[in-house]
Amino acid sequence: HYRHPELNDQIEKVLDSLKITDDQLEQIMHLLEEEMNAGLSPLTHHQAIVKMFPTYVRNIPNGTEIGQVLALDLGGTNFRVLLIDLRGNSRIELTSKIFLIPQSVMIGDGKRLFRHLAECLHEFMQKERILNTGVCYPIGFTFSFPCQQEGLASARLTAWTKGFDCSGVVNEDVVKLLQDAIDEKRINAKCVALINDTVGTLMACAYKDPSTAIGLILGTGTNACYIENLDKVGTWKGDYNEPKQVIINMEWGAFGDNGRLNLIRTKYDEEVDLSSMNPGKQIFEKMISGMYMGEIVRLIILDLLQQELLFLGHRDTYGDYKTPLYNRGGFYTKFVSTVEIDEGIQFSNTRRVLEDIGIRNPTYDDCAIVRHICRQVSKRAAKLAAAGLAVLINRIGKSNITVGVDGSLYRYHPRFKHNMERCMETLINKSIQFKLTLSDDGSGKGAAMVACLADDSL
């Protein structure tokens, strides 16, 4: 499919390392299930790679919940504050504001981070005229980093991920750090629940669809949660009352941190990992999520360029190393989506993206190769996420299972959902009907629902 057909074989040779066979996928599913059982067992939890944290969220909303609740959402690109009015009858009213977390705060002192969150909350409540009203508002805090929970409103951070690295927070109770900052500013609000964004996504989807049993994030990072029977959760420390279930926050991004995904890792994956803020960690996440996908594509493009298989014209004419292509992070993950929107042979989007990274006048073959790279990288990511979901769906085993999904990669990539579904059909037991549903604004709404279910005063 290139104008210079001899390129076919050479390009394929480079991209072969990205292919995952069906056999390998089954092997990966088997490995993941082993890691899951290790995370759920009290004997092995401590050393386990996939942590399988019990969340203390056991009740799933049914749409009748009523109350006015605040939600804070920290865990990725933006920090959001939301005021959510649950009206019953599956109706929700919502106002929200996005605040930026400056890079210096993301990697600075932990106290400063939480003070910053409290200041944003203060500003938002002032604008909404709910400050100092005599009402103490319950807060659901979506904090999307791995935490060991000891209750719904008590959670110790185990490690920062996704580019955050604030001092004095690891091993501390995040709810307490937040509440101290809120109290210091005398704000009339109390954090009653901490949840992960996957849990929020599951909850918000369940509010509308009672078959929902899984929450999935495909954004800056990737992670999943699901409803597990208490008798399978050896690490459970709470009571055994009805409902005998709890949502498990898998923290599946860490799958592979003990080398078990090496069978499918490429030199590009290794390079992405080594130049990241957390080398050796979040290996599965680094092969899938938005924070890394564009970088994988960039490294492959550079490799092909160095092998003189790509942009030969560009090299002759410009030959400089100042274009974004040569800089870490110079190829955004959203470019992968843009390139893949091109269907035919015009390559209008691909040309635009290439211009953005400093490549002018690419040839037809250049464009076709870049699109091919993007397709292979995003398809591999979709297959890996699909294999993870297939493990959960086969394990849950109900005849109808809905997966609530959130995150920009899933939302905006033109084929991610389709590629996942096609792969899942081959891996999931034929007796099970599954559905992937976009969970709109799940991390905010879900936190409000958990807070509402948790707060006795409402």
- Catalytic residue ranges: 80, 144, 197
Least gap, CB of 330 to ligand ADP (angstroms): 13
Q: Which of 219, 330, 442, 446 binds ligand ADP (CB under 6 A)?
A: 219
Position with the least CB separation from ligand ADP: 76
State the residue for tokens 């799940």: 442
Q: Alpha helix (H) ranges present in 87-193?
A: 103-106, 110-127, 174-184
Nearer to ligand ADP, 245 or 337 (CB): 337
- From 142, 235, 337, 419, residue interacting with ligand ADP (rule: CB under 6 A): 337
Task: Give the dihedral sign, CA 445/449/454/458.
Answer: positive
Asked if 112 touches ligand ADP (CB under 6 A), the answer is: no
Give the phi and the psi of residue 204 in degrees, each rounded to 5.
-65, -35
The piece of 44-52, 70-78, 124-132, 321-329 that touches ligand ADP (CB under 6 A) is: 70-78
Q: From the CB of 249, what's the least distance to ligand ADP, in Å?
A: 15
How far, in Å, CA of 165 to CA of 75, rounded? 12
Least distance CB 72 / ligand ADP (angstroms): 13
CB 173 to ligand ADP: min, Å: 23
Q: Give dist(CA 294, CA 373) in Å, integer.
A: 11
Taking the CB of residue 94, how many other CB atoms lie within 10 A of it? 14
Runs of H (alpha helix) within 357-431: 364-396, 408-412, 416-427
SS3 assignment, position 301: helix
- Least distance from ligand ADP to the Cβ atom of residue 302, Å: 19
CB of 406 to ligand ADP, least distance (A): 7
The nearest distance, CB 223 to ligand ADP, in angstroms, is 10
Q: In what order do the strands lie in the sheet with 245-249?
A: 53-54, 245-249, 222-229, 212-218, 400-406, 433-438
Q: Does 96 bind ligand ADP (CB under 6 A)?
A: no
Q: Which of residues 376-435 bind ligand ADP (CB under 6 A)?
A: 407-409, 412-413
DSSP E strand stretches across 144-258: 147-151, 154-157, 189-195, 212-218, 222-229, 245-249
Question: Is 350 among the residues that bind ligand ADP (CB under 6 A)?
Answer: no
Give the residue with the Cβ less far from ligand ADP, 114 or 332.
332
In eight-state DSSP terms, residue 45 is G
Q: Which window, 56-64, 104-112, 251-259, 329-337, contacts ligand ADP (CB under 6 A)?
A: 329-337
Binding letters toward ligand ADP, positions 242-281, x by CB under 6 A: ----------------------------------------
Distances (CA, A) of 228 to 57, 236, 439: 11, 11, 20
User: Which one, of 147, 155, 145, lies nearest residue 179 by Cα?
Assistant: 155
Establish if 222 lies at the interface with ligand ADP (CB under 6 A): no
Q: Is 160 in a helix, a strand, or coil?
A: coil
With CB under 6 A as the rule, give the number of residues binding ligand ADP.
Answer: 16
Question: Which of 290, 330, 388, 446 is in the footprint of ligand ADP by CB under 6 A?
Answer: 290
- Give me the torsion for CA of 443, 445, 451, 452, rounded to 10°: -160
Complex with ligand ADP: residue 178 or 339, whichever CB lies closer: 339
- Compute CA distances 420 → 87, 157, 170, 379, 404, whole Å: 35, 31, 34, 8, 14
If binding is defined by CB under 6 A, does position 440 make contact with ligand ADP?
A: no
Among 39, 67, 76, 138, which residue interacts with ligand ADP (rule: CB under 6 A)? Answer: 76
Residues that bind ligand ADP (CB under 6 A): 75-77, 219-220, 290-291, 332-334, 337, 407-409, 412-413
